[in-house]
């Protein structure tokens, strides 16, 4: 009954309906058993600002204690600080209780074991174990024991040491924490580095009373834009658990793929991983100074590929940025922000650099609502239709199917993929003119809608 919460790269569902005492205690003991089999002795557990976090923490910890692990409570923190607790060898594993950028009724678990994400086939094996445990009629007793541990101080100390050269930077910065947990780290880091920060909605509030915490959506950065235009040089927006960033200048909102290009210009022979939604500009321009790679969307997929391909940095259009160069290889929006400030300190004019790129026209992500059962069937049906001569599209140059389908045409490309976190089909389009972009967009959307109407 809990099958749908086990996604491609994390566990995610609605509190009480999907994530309740029964399912989460079962997840805790079954996951704890997996951890023990992999040599884990200590596990840190943290959580974001969602109101369901205290109950889910107690349920999860009860299960982990039943598996006889040493459990540490690192408190309310951004997800990347949980990763940091493992990558700096403080703990063998970490679980962050977070709904990320999803609506407030959602929550979930992001799992790291021995510096590797726990995802994909591993999560499906866990799903089977959880279902078997529940079917057996066994129960996990309440056991909320967890040793308090301060990882935040070590995290702030890292910034104070590694970015001491930014102390006193006069750039005027406005941030929007969106009542998520970003403010918990932003404020002490700003103080440690003597930066001129102003933070909108810094106090964590799981009701998210001011706006939804997803800075990749235009609706959620309106107030940040307005504040930026009142005398600030740069604006930064954060999602609920502070692993996704939006970067704004008074002139533009800089997407994750453009950020990757900017960061790469400040690196020597960079090896950069992008996802299927990234602009062709990013791949073409980075290949002039280093080497680019294309991979699957999703933090777990990206971390795995980074290790296999010896990647220095990876990026998603939505604002997840992963640095291995001078960092640990996970996505951390606060770290990404500091690296932007480092670019500015080194004399980079962000707008000027981006203005030099070839002019391309692209859409934001556009989402077509469907359901969990149909979304992957739509993609498979689309692959078949694309190979038929009567598909109604311009001449296809190439089809990249590593994550959905990225369809390359003479003048641009279109992407159609199933979201791994929500019941939607995600599309994006890019071309060398507005007319060509519109032609590609209209043709691909019409084909998808026809499939949904006739075949699914």
Q: Which of 322, 355, 388 is the last residue of a domain?
A: 355
Catalytic residue among 7, 50, 320, 406: 320
Question: Could you tell me the CATH number of the domain that includes residue 417?
Answer: 3.30.310.50
Cβ-proximal residues to 166 (8 Å cutoff; 6+ apart), any chain: 193, 195, 338, 341, 342, 345
Average pLDDT over residues 10-24: 96
Residues 370, 333 share a domain: no
Catalytic residue among 100, 292, 318, 362: 100
Q: How far is CA 19 from the centre of its chain?
A: 21
Residues 124, 166 share a domain: no
Domain count, the chain: 3
Confidence of residue 1 (pLDDT cuts 50, 70, 90): low
Q: Is the pLDDT of residue 343 over 80?
A: yes
What is the C-alpha to C-alpha distance for residues 218 and 226, in angstroms, rounded to an integer?
12
- 211 included as an active-site residue: no
Residues 131, 91 share a domain: yes
Residues 160, 132 share a domain: no
Residues 227, 96 share a domain: no
Nearest to 271 by CA among 313, 302, 308: 313
| Mean residue pLDDT across the chain | 95
- 385 included as an active-site residue: no
pLDDT of residue 270: 98
- 100 included as an active-site residue: yes
Q: Which of 98, 127, 150 is the last residue of a domain?
A: 150
Q: Which two tokens mark 446?
A: 């019409």
What is the C-alpha to C-alpha distance for residues 235 and 413, in angstroms, rounded to an integer?
30
pLDDT of residue 3: 85
Residues 367, 422 share a domain: yes
Query: Which tens digits make up the pLDDT trace of 86-98?
Result: 999 999 999 999 9
pLDDT of residue 363: 93
Residues 90, 130 share a domain: yes
Catalytic residue among 7, 12, 299, 417: 12
Residues 245, 233 share a domain: yes
Q: How far is CA 12 from the centre of its chain?
A: 13
Q: Is the pLDDT of residue 450 over 90?
A: yes
pLDDT of residue 426: 94
Residues 343, 248 share a domain: yes
What is the extent of the structural domain holding 229? 153-355
Nearest to 11 by CA among 92, 150, 127, 101: 127
Confidence of residue 196 (pLDDT cuts 50, 70, 90): confident
């Amino acid at each position: 009954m809990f099958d749908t919460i086990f996604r491609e790269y994390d566990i995610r569902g609605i509190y009480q309906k999907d994530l309740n005492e029964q399912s989460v205690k079962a997840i805790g003991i079954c996951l704890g058993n997996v951890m023990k089999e992999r040599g884990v002795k200590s596990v840190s557990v943290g959580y974001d600002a969602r109101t369901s976090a205290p109950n889910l923490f107690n349920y999860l910890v009860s299960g982990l204690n039943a598996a006889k692990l040493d459990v540490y409570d690192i408190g309310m923190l951004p997800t990347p600080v949980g990763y940091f607790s493992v990558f700096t060898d403080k703990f063998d594993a970490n679980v962050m209780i977070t709904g990320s950028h999803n609506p407030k009724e959602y929550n979930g678990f992001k799992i790291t074991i021995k510096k590797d994400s726990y995802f994909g086939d591993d999560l499906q094996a866990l799903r089977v174990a959880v279902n078997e445990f529940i079917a057996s009629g066994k129960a996990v007793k309440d056991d909320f024991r967890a040793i308090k541990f301060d990882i935040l101080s070590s995290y702030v100390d890292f910034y104070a040491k590694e970015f001491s050269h930014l102390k006193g930077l006069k750039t005027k910065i406005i941030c929007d924490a969106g009542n998520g947990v970003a403010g918990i780290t932003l404020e002490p880091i700003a103080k440690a580095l003597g930066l001129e920060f102003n933070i909108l909605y810094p106090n964590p509030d799981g009701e998210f009373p001011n706006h939804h915490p997803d800075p990749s959506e235009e609706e959620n950065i309106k107030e940040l834009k307005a504040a930026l235009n009142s005398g600030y040089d740069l604006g930064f927006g954060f999602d609920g658990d502070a692993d996704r960033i939006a970067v704004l200048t008074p002139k533009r909102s800089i997407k994750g793929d453009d950020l990757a290009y900017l960061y790469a210009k400040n690196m020597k022979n960079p090896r950069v991983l992008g996802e299927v939604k990234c602009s062709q500009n990013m791949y073409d321009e980075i290949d002039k100074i280093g080497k680019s790679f294309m991979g699957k969307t999703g933090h777990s997929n990206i971390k795995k590929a980074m290790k296999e391909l010896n990647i220095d940095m990876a990026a998603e259009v939505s604002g997840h940025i992963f640095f291995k160069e001078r960092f640990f290889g996970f996505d951390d929006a606060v770290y990404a922000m500091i690296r932007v400030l480092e670019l500015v300190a080194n004399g980079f004019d962000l707008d000027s650099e981006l203005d030099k790129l070839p002019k391309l026209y692209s859409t934001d992500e556009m989402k077509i609502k469907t359901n969990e059962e149909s979304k992957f069937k739509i993609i498979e049906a689309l692959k078949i239709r694309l190979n038929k001569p009567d598909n109604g599209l311009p001449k296809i140059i190439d089809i990249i199917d590593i994550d959905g389908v990225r369809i390359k045409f003479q003048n641009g490309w279109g992407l159609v993929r199933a979201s791994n976190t929500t019941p939607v089909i995600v599309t994006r389009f890019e071309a060398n003119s507005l007319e060509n972009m519109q032609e590609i967009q209209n043709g691909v959307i019409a084909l998808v809608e026809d499939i949904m109407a006739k075949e699914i």
